[in-house]
Amino acid sequence: MKSVARWLQAVPDRFTSYGLAKALSELYKTQVLSSAGLAIKAGSSAVVKQGSAYVVVVNGVLVAVAANTDTAALSGANVATATSNIYLLAIDATGTTTWYPGVAGATVGAIALPTIPFNVAVVGGILVQNATGSNFVPGTTALDTGSLTVTYLNNVGPFFPVKSI
């Protein structure tokens, strides 16, 4: 943080440096403090559970979530065969979880990350790589279906998906 403070001191306009410092502090008011341990709820299930008890800070409000809590139903666009997509799980200050789907791509690198509102903390997500020969339907297709690769992602800290600057 000292290097950021030194950099802000070099900004000639104090209102600009104040604005930059405020923006940086706002970014860190929302973050995940411990891992949710995302995993499939049970064999042949389409539900993701938060396997670990965890804590987040959302706009300065502490939120604690109990272990083995189901997430909201997975939702968003289907993933066609031979494509991949990411679904990010976020939580708000009331403890409500919501899935934010990306835009599918032919490769993992071609996936477009979703836009995430500033009033939620990104807990983690799932990366779905579909080689099944049929569509992956969020909330319906079992997460352990053969030829479907699902990677569970757990975030700790702030998360800022930036598309481009």
Q: How far apart are CA 73 and CA 33, in angstroms?
A: 23
Q: How far apart are CA 116 and CA 153, in angstroms?
A: 16
Give this prediction's pTM.
0.87
DSSP state of 29: T
Q: How far apart are CA 86 and CA 115, in angstroms?
A: 12
pLDDT tens sequence across 146-155: 999 999 999 9
Percent of the chain with pLDDT over 70: 91
Average pLDDT of the residues of the chain? 91
Q: What is the pLDDT of residue 43?
A: 95
Highest CATH level, class, for 30-154:
mainly beta
pLDDT tens sequence across 101-136: 999 999 999 999 999 998 899 999 999 999 999 999
Task: Say if strands 48-50 and 69-70 run parallel, antiparallel, or are unpaired.
Answer: antiparallel
Map out the domains of the chain as residue ranges: 30-154
- Tell me how far CA of residue 161 lies from CA of 5, 34, 95, 138, in angstroms: 24, 19, 21, 22
pLDDT tens sequence across 18-47: 777 777 777 789 999 999 999 999 999 999
Q: How far apart are CA 122 and CA 109, in angstroms?
A: 20
The alpha-helical segments, DSSP class H, found in 28-109 are none
Reported as half-sphere exposure (CB side, CA atoms, 13 A), residue 159 has a value of: 27
